[in-house]
Structure formats: C-alpha cells, structure tokens
Amino acid sequence: MRTPATGGHDATLAIDFIGVHKWYGTFHALRNINLTVKRGERIVICGPSGSGKSTLIRCVNGLEEHQRGSIIVDGVELTRDVKRIDEVRKDVGMVFQSFNLFPHLTVLENCTLAPIWVRKTPKRQAEDIAMKLLRRVKIPEQASKYPAQLSGGQQQRVAIARALCMNPRIMLFDEPTSALDPEMVKEVLDTMSELAQEGMTMMVVTHEMGFARQVADRVVFMDNGEIVEINAPDPFFDNPRHQRTKLFLSQILH
C-alpha cells in the first residue's frame, strides 16, 4: 500500500515516539518522550493540566511541531515537509475538546468535505459513507441541520463521524468530553468504546477514568512534560507505583 519513508519499519507499529522534545519559547513542554503505540492499541493519556498530554497527541498529526527526536506515524516520519504532514493527516483522525465543526456547513457537508476534496471521492459515494457513519454514531436524522442546532453531545458525535469519513487508521481524541454537559458524556464515551471494539488504534487524552479502565490497553501518566508511568489500566489504578501517580490518582478519585 504505502512505501515506508523509513527503512526497516516494523509494520505492527502505528506510532513511534523516539526521544521527542518540544519547547514553547524557553518552556520545555515535552521532555524526552519515548512511546510506542502498536496497531490496534488503545492508549489513554492522563495527567494534571499543563502536563503536556495535549501537546503530545497534537504532535502526532503535526498540529504542533517537535524540535528534537522523531515521530513516526504509520511508517512516515514527521518532518517539516508539508506534503508529508498532509499525507499523515489523511490517515489520522482527530477529535477536539471544542468539537470544531464547521458552522457554515450542514452536518452532512461537514462529513463529506474532506473525502470529496482531499480523497477525491465522488460526491454521491462520500454522502453514502457519511450517512453510514452518521447512523453509526446514531444521528442520521440530523444530517441536514447546522452544527449550532445540535446539542454538545450530538456535535461531538458528528465530529467523530467526520473524522471517520476519511477512513483513518489512527484516531486521536483530545479531551473529547471535557466541554460537554454531564448528561452527554456517556453518549460520546459509548461511541468511542464501540470504535475501540472494532479495533481502531486510538490515543485518548481524557479525565474519564472509568473509560480508561474499561477501554484502554495501556494508561500513560504524564506530569511536567515527561512520561511518569505507563501500565495496563488495572495495575495502574489499583497499584500505582510512582509517587506522583499516586498523588494524582488520589486527587481525582475520591
């Protein structure tokens, strides 16, 4: 399918962070990140605010630029080359905290925009795929509405459908439920759980510890721009080993 840009690429790897550093001005935001995400793996990243977890997943599709080390996504190393970044973005879907739907387009148009213009899918076919995915996130009846007419939970499910319309191999979620009213969190988490059951490779930044325990293969705890602890969810929550992990968990699980 794709010719790997790096020699000797391991085809079971989805994302590989190798010694990644990032600075905002003089602020050292990511410090020597080493993390390997296998194909089909679900990674949940948690940590206090300002710990660099959002920055980390935004590096995966080049929304943030890292300054040292390398990030290899699906066999393509991210460089400053715009073409290469666009190539990676086609295969990596992203869901944002504030939905970021396009308010001037209907729900259906939001979903078909990128397939039609980036993938050059014929319009009719793109609409069929979009309707299929809107059914999957259980809002096909909203297809002709504008985003502002939808509830937060519905908007976020549209955002998930929009990302899925590009048929991505990896999905990134940047605090997808943090901007939602409490009664709408579940519908979005359910959608994400279904996606996980279908074998999608996922990196999720979230404070939903129930979701992490249920869905994640591994939980990554970050603090001050570095990875502090990585473990499977059960040992991570039941038996955290690092002092900072214990402190964090004691603060959020009451």
Partner 1 sequence: MSQTLVFVRTKSEPLDPPPTLSSSVLVWARANLFSSIGSTVTTLAFVALVLWLLPELFSWTITQAVWNAKDGEACRQHQDGACWAFISAKLDYLRFGSYPVDQRWRVNLTEWVGAVLIAWLLWPEAPKRGMAALLFFAIFPIFAFVLLHGSGWLGLPIVDTLLWGGMLITLLTAAVGIVFSLPLGVLLALGRRSRMPVVRSASILFIEFVRGVPFITILFMANAMLPLFLPEAWAPDRLLRPLVGMALFSAAYMAEEVRGGLQSLRRGQYEAAMALGLSYPLMMGLVILPQALTLVIPGIVNNFVGLFMDTTLVSIVGLADFLEAMNNAMKDPAWSGPTIMPTGYVFAGVFYFMFCFGMTRYSAFVEGKLAKGRKR
Which residues here bind partner 1, judged by CB under 8 A? 61-63, 86, 89-90, 92-94, 96, 98, 100-104, 113-114, 117-118, 146, 148-149, 159, 162-163, 166
Q: What DSSP string runs through 99-149?
A: ----TTS-HHHHHHHHHHHTS---HHHHHHHHHHHHHHTT-GGGTTS-GGG
Nearest CB to partner 1, comparing residues 152 and 233? 152
What distance lies between CA 85 and its chain's CA centroid? 16
In whole angstroms, the minimum distance from the beta carbon of 126 to partner 1 comes to 13
Query: Is the four-CA dihedral 251, 246, 229, 42 of positive or negative sign?
Result: negative
Nearest CB to partner 1, comparing residues 93 and 153? 93
In whole angstroms, the minimum distance from the beta carbon of 241 to partner 1 comes to 35
Beta bridge partners of 93: 171
Distance CA 111, CA 195 (A): 17
Nearest CB to partner 1, comparing residues 42 and 162? 162
In whole angstroms, the minimum distance from the beta carbon of 115 to partner 1 comes to 9
In whole angstroms, the minimum distance from the beta carbon of 89 to partner 1 comes to 4
Tokens describing residue 115:
């397939």
Nearest CB to partner 1, comparing residues 100 and 224? 100
